[in-house]
């Protein structure tokens, strides 16, 4: 709660372009290159003065510097100027727009929001080219809530956390770099409000509710009092939950549940431990490839993996091999457009087609295994023959490293991501090839239901509570038990409080989720009976619609949990299959 402080970061719009004489083309290219170099120098200065609490996010500034040097971006702007004989501003705008259009096809929220980095670099270039570079946030003297169209990573390095009570932006998402950096600074933020910077003016009294994604402008006295009371209750709840986040997750009747974290990047490791993670159940490795201007080399990958493994030691880190293709493609990868990329050359299929890229990553992972407890997870496995082809390459790499006397963990566990129905059907045979299974519920639901979850016409049919999903999970659990293979889940269902009684009822006791979900999931587990969950699952297993499942889950949770905890669940992002309630 506080006063608004408007930061002018309005989107720079280019409504004109002009053609250049041949004699002016080289000067225009130089003008663009000078602007890019000026920004890179400012980013270098920002890196030198980055606050200690944001040191783990210095890579974000590097990402912006990489974009300014990346031939897919930098050379494209120059080509637009040279070939089209157009001014630098228009060339930047055309290039950024083209890249943004390609990013819209990406399904993964985190990776899709990397288009914001391209947009921020483009906006910064336009401001410099137009002679109106952004002002600094260093001089904010009073406690305020910042309101802006957008904030760049460099802006975030200038913020003094003791003076900024909150952040509101027109664009962005939960996994945008700005939102992640705000979380590291423990600053509440509401992003993606579209017109906030147009509606809110400096001096407005604001209530910012980060849990609900809500901003109230100039509230009345009754609303202020209500939120002051809510704030006190929330702070007491946070103190209670975080005070218990490191306690083990054990049900009322003594069943231990393993709680791991899903990581996208190194910077999230510290927060995962702070939230009470017992290790990393899924370390996604593709961002390192997609954020690079060229194919990452073995040493670069090794240093990345080693840092994560050492930060978690002696806890386990499950590293998923490269999952690109479909909606995640880097410019330097030789991947031609496909009619249906989600069903095409992606994940392990890409790695088997590009064995040298795959071998390089495996070598880096194996080298990192010498510094802690590492497991390897292979995505999108659909058949036994596919898994055997993967293991053949894996054993080749191990033999090469043995010959070169490079140390690595020779007893490392291999696992399969279960996210295709064929893998569930063949689970008994696949269990003979690996040591563990990990359920990727996001894709498993998508492929089982034939639903594109980012398609606005059918996204409402993406339901984790659908009886078909319960039955396919039940089949997988039974096969895993009969085969004696360890089973975990690392998709969004794992961190969804409303899905917890279903997972426990199925007998799944190893969960991996986004770190911020861990405290509330642990608290629910401590108030839940494992045996009662098993009995409850027998009831919902008879349901024929997701609506019936949803109703029974809500009634069950309301009966076993306190009202305060239920309120927290419904303030939790992405809670349950509530669209059908």
pLDDT digits (tens, 9 = 90+) for 368-379: 999 999 999 999
- 556: three-class secondary structure by DSSP: helix
Which listed residue (177, 288, 556, 572) is catalytic?
A: 177
The pLDDT assigned to 243 comes to 75
Residue boundaries of the structural domains of the chain: 2-216, 241-580
Torsion of CA 317, 318, 321, 327, to 10 degrees: -100
The pLDDT assigned to 579 comes to 33
Helix (H) or strand (E) holding 35: helix 22-48
Asked whether the whole model's pTM tops 0.75, one would answer: no
As a whole number of angstroms, the distance between CA 477 and CA 480 comes to 5
The pLDDT assigned to 571 comes to 58
Of 536, 532, 527, residue with least CA distance to 563: 527
List pLDDT tens digits, range 204-245: 999 998 877 899 999 999 999 999 988 888 777 777 767 778
Does the annotation mark 490 as catalytic?
yes
Ranges of the chain whose pLDDT falls below 50: 332, 577-581
Neighbouring residues of 489: CB distance < 8 A, sequence distance ≥ 6: 438, 439, 441, 503, 508, 510, 511, 512
Q: Which CATH class is domain 241-580?
A: alpha beta
179, 173 contact by CB (below 8 A):
yes
Q: Which two tokens stand for residue 457?
A: 């016409």
Alpha carbon of residue 183 to chain centroid: 13
The pLDDT assigned to 383 comes to 96
- CATH dotted code for 2-216: 1.10.274.10
Which listed residue (490, 499, 543, 556) is catalytic?
A: 490
DSSP strand pairing (164-169 vs 189-190) = parallel
As a whole number of angstroms, the distance between CA 333 and CA 318 comes to 25
Does the annotation mark 177 as catalytic?
yes
Helix 58-69 × helix 115-129 angle, to 10°:
70
């Amino acid at each position: 709660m506080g006063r608004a402080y408007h930061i002018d970061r309005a989107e720079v719009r280019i409504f004109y372009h002009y053609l250049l004489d041949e004699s002016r083309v080289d000067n225009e290219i130089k003008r663009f290159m000078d602007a890019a170099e000026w920004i890179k120098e400012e980013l270098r200065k920002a890196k030198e003065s980055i606050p200690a609490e944001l040191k783990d996010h210095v890579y974000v500034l590097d990402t912006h510097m990489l974009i300014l040097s990346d031939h897919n971006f930098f050379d494209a702007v120059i080509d637009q100027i040279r070939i089209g004989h157009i001014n630098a501003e228009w060339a930047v705008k055309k290039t950024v727009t083209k890249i943004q259009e390609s990013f819209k096809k990406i399904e993964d929220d985190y990776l899709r929001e990397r288009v914001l980095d391209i947009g921020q670099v483009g906006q910064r270039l336009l401001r410099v080219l137009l002679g109106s570079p952004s002002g600094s946030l260093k001089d904010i003297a009073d406690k305020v809530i910042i309101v802006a169209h957008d904030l760049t990573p460099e802006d975030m390095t200038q913020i003094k956390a003791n003076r900024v009570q909150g952040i509101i932006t027109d664009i962005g998402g939960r996994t945008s770099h700005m939102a992640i950096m705000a979380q590291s600074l423990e600053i509440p933020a509401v992003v993606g409000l579209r017109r906030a910077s147009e509606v809110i003016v400096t001096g407005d009294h604001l209530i910012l509710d980060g849990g609900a994604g809500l901003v109230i402008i100039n509230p009345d006295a009754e609303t202020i009092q209500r939120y002051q009371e809510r704030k006190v209750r929330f702070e007491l709840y946070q103190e209670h939950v975080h005070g218990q986040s490191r306690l083990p997750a054990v049900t009322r009747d003594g069943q231990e549940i393993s709680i791991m974290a899903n990581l996208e990047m190194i910077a999230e490791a510290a927060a995962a431990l702070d939230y009470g993670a017992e290790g990393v159940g899924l370390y996604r490795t593709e961002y390192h490839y997609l954020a690079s201007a060229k194919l990452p080399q073995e040493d670069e990958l090794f240093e990345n993996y080693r840092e994560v493994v050492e930060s978690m030691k002696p806890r386990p880190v499950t590293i998923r091999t490269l999952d690109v293709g479909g909606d995640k493609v880097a410019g330097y990868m030789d991947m031609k457009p496909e009619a249906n990329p989600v069903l095409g050359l992606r994940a392990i299929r890409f790695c088997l087609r590009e064995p040298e890229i795959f071998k390089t990553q495996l070598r880096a992972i194996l080298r990192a295994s010498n510094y802690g407890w590492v497991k390897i997870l292979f995505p999108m496995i659909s058949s036994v023959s596919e898994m055997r082809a993967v293991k053949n390459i894996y054993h080749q790499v191990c033999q090469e490293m043995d010959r070169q006397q490079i140390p690595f963990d020779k007893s490392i566990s291999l696992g399969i991501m279960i996210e295709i129905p064929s893998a569930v059907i063949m689970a008994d045979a696949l269990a003979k090839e690996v040591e563990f299974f990990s359920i990727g519920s996001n894709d498993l639901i998508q492929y089982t239901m034939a639903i594109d979850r980012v398609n606005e016409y059918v996204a409402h049919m993406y339901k984790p509570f659908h009886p078909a999903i319960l039955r396919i999970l039940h089949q997988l659990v039974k096969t895993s038990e009969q085969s004696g293979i360890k089973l975990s889940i690392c998709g969004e269902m794992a961190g969804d409080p409303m899905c917890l009684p279903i997972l426990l009822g199925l007998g799944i006791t190893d969960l991996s989720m986004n770190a911020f979900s861990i405290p509330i999931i642990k608290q629910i587990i401590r108030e839940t009976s494992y045996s009662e969950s098993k009995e409850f699952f027998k009831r919902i297993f008879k349901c024929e619609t997701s609506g019936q499942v949803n109703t029974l889950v809500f009634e069950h949770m309301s009966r076993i949990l306190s009202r305060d905890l239920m309120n927290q669940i419904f303030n939790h992002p992405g809670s349950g299959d509530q669209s059908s309630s």
